[in-house]
């Protein structure tokens, strides 16, 4: 299948295979294969597409500027014919992509107890512009996150002359980890950010998840150790959205929060950092958001 037209006319190529091709297993051997020969520039490349649900190319990119793709189907099961359908779509545009990275750290303590908490999230997103809502909305995302909480407290039973009673400080650690992989149709799409007429950007840090998921928690320390799972218990991100101004800005609020933002709105990208530093009587914290999105579509 040749693709002779320039990227201005065919920017995007997507092969959809649905649930894949039917597999016939005889003596644990797979008899059906789907392979692809791909011409990029003057070079031919080989890929195995047997297990893929879809494969797409953005021909605006040098390393995805396909000129021809030939599919090779093989069926070594002579008892049954290979019968399935797939589609090739060239009417769409290259998906716009970007990422959001969130980090949150907090240290607090009182009466000898110190609690340190941290949370890291990285979301790799695909977005598109929705003219009805005048916003860039999520169409797909793959996110991973990790959390850690360490509690240190004096051991009330500790006696310096009797070490077997226990250490002077008891430590307890809880680690959490999870993933989120979601696609959205038109009715489900969340807005990720809007470009307002006054030059500000309304940025939705991490819209709520659509599907039920799991986090694995590992608890260990001087008191007890266990591993457990909780359903749809994603760690909260307290600041769901924020308004950013194009350029750099730094100020301190009446509550003592120091806010630093650096937002860059370019012709083809939007990127920035947003940092909140807090200092309170019981401790201090830092909340950081980093993001970059391609808006060239």
pLDDT of the residue at 192: 93
Q: Token pair of 259, please?
A: 């806010």
pLDDT of the residue at 244: 92
Instruction: Dump pLDDT digits (tens) for 72-93.
Output: 988 776 776 667 788 898 887 7
- The residue that leads in pLDDT, 214 or 109, is 109
Question: Can you tell me the distance from the alpha carbon of 38 to that of 100, in angstroms, rounded to the nearest whole number?
Answer: 32
Question: Can you tell me the distance from the alpha carbon of 153 to that of 69, in angstroms, rounded to the nearest whole number?
Answer: 63
Q: State the average pLDDT over residues 180-194.
A: 88
Q: Name the pTM for this structure.
A: 0.71
3-state class of 28 per DSSP? coil
Angle at 285 between CA 280 and CA 286, to 5 degrees: 140
Question: Can you tell me the distance from the alpha carbon of 162 to that of 17, in angstroms, rounded to the nearest whole number?
Answer: 69
Q: State the average pLDDT over residues 31-46.
A: 89
CA 265, chain centre distance (Å): 22
pLDDT of the residue at 42: 87
Instruction: Dump pLDDT digits (tens) for 129-179.
Output: 888 888 999 999 999 888 899 999 888 777 776 666 667 788 888 888 888
Angle at 264 between CA 262 and CA 269, to 5 degrees: 140
pLDDT of the residue at 186: 82
pLDDT of the residue at 53: 83
pLDDT of the residue at 29: 47
**Tokens 């500027």 map to which residue?**
65
Q: State the average pLDDT over residues 255-268.
A: 90
What residue ranges do the domains of the chain occupy?
A: 12-89, 96-294
pLDDT of the residue at 61: 79
pLDDT of the residue at 47: 94
Q: State the average pLDDT over residues 97-121.
A: 92
Question: Can you tell me the distance from the alpha carbon of 177 to that of 100, in angstroms, rounded to the nearest whole number?
Answer: 17
Contact 101, 290 (CB under 8 A): yes
Q: State the average pLDDT over residues 90-112.
A: 88
Q: State the average pLDDT over residues 209-218.
A: 71
Given pLDDT bands bounded at 50, 70 and 90, which one contains residue 27? very low
Contact 33, 44 (CB under 8 A): no
């Amino acid at each position: 299948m040749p693709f002779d037209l320039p990227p201005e006319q065919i920017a995007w190529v997507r092969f959809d295979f649905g649930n894949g091709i039917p597999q016939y297993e005889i003596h644990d051997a797979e008899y059906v294969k789907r392979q692809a020969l791909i011409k990029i520039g003057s070079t031919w490349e080989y890929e195995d597409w047997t297990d893929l649900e879809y494969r797409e190319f953005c021909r605006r990119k040098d390393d995805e500027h396909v000129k021809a793709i030939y599919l090779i189907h093989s069926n070594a099961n002579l008892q049954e014919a290979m019968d399935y359908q797939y589609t090739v779509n060239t009417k769409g545009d290259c998906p716009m992509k970007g990422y959001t990275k969130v980090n949150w750290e907090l240290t607090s303590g009182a009466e000898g107890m110190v609690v340190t908490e941290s949370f890291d999230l990285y979301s790799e997103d695909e977005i598109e512009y929705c003219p009805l809502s005048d916003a860039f909305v999520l169409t797909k995302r793959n996110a991973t996150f990790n959390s850690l909480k360490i509690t240190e407290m004096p051991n009330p039973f500790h006696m310096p002359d009797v070490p077997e009673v226990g250490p002077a400080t008891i430590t307890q650690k809880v680690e959490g980890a999870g993933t989120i992989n979601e696609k959205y149709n038109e009715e489900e799409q969340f807005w990720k950010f809007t470009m307002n007429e006054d030059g500000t950007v309304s940025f939705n840090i991490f819209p709520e998840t659509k599907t039920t998921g799991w986090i694995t928690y590992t608890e260990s320390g001087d008191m007890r150790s266990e591993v457990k799972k909780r359903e749809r218990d994603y760690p909260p991100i307290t600041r769901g959205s924020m308004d950013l101004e194009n350029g750099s800005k730094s100020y301190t609020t009446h509550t003592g929060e120091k806010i630093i933002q650096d937002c860059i709105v370019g012709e083809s990208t939007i990127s920035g950092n947003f940092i909140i530093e807090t200092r309170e009587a019981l401790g201090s914290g830092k909340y950081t958001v980093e993001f970059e999105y391609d808006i060239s579509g």
